Amino acid sequence: MTATHAAIVLAAGGSTRLGRPKQLLRRGGESLVARTVRLAAETRPCRLLVMLGACHDSVAATLVPSPRVELHEVPDWRDGLSASLVAAAHALRAHRGPVLVTGIDQPALGALHLRALLDGSRSVRSGCAVVMHGERPGAPAVLSHLLFSQVDALEGDRGFGALLAALPEDALFRLQAPSLAQDIDTPDDVRRLRAAGLLDRGD
């Protein structure tokens, strides 16, 4: 890995459908937010931003303090995903390289997924790489500086999916990773993922 990319961990959501902070669910004794930050750090980004909003203090308390990790509060986190991306873009306004973006609610996420995306982004002319969720490009993703600079066009609970989908087919690296389709939105998701061994039982 080179240190030309920045990394953003999106951890500001309110988990309204779940009824509890999904950031604090655990796998292997580690909170999902701490696990995701660790995996992102293993890619050796030049900057690593963690975007916090709901339950800011509780979520931040599960992270191991590190000078390599920047905690950024998103005041407008209730406005949805776009608020976190806009806040991150403002913090990265001097960055001119690619940006790795990931959420915290895919407990099957591994370091190999992130490395494959970064490697794949360097193999295509757009400089962008995504995980495919069926026919839809989604997170985690690597965004080129050019695409990431369009963040101000986003609004509500929408990310870069439409902009990525609009790229020519041969210009976008697509990672097929079916295990990453297992995300967390509802209590049923938690029960299913615990049964699969992807989340710790208890609490």
Residue 138: beta bridge partners? 131
Whole-angstrom distance, CA of residue 79 vs CA of residue 97: 27
CA distances 186 to 58, 102, 104, Å, are 20, 19, 15
Calpha distance 195→190 (Å, rounded): 9
Which residues does 164 contact at the CB level (< 8 Å), separation at least 6? 128, 130, 137, 141, 143, 147, 172
66 class by beta-carbon count within 10 Å (0-12 exposed, 13-18 middle, 19+ buried) = exposed
Whether the model pTM is above 0.85: yes
Q: What is the pLDDT of residue 203?
A: 60
Dist CA 77 CA 63 (whole Å): 20
pLDDT of residue 137: 84
pLDDT in tens, the chain (203 residues): 445 899 999 999 888 888 889 999 999 999 999 999 999 999 999 999 999 998 889 999 999 888 899 999 999 888 888 889 999 999 999 999 999 999 999 999 999 999 999 999 999 999 999 998 888 888 899 999 989 988 877 766 667 878 888 888 888 999 999 999 888 989 999 999 999 999 999 76
Residue 140: predicted pLDDT = 95
Can you give the pLDDT at residue 2? 45
Distances in whole angstroms, Cα of residue 104 to Cα of each of 57, 124, 185: 16, 26, 11
Query: What per-residue confidence (pLDDT) applies to 15?
Result: 83
Please name the residue that has the structure tokens 């295509």.
Answer: 124
CA distances from 182 to 62, 138, 198 (A): 23, 13, 9
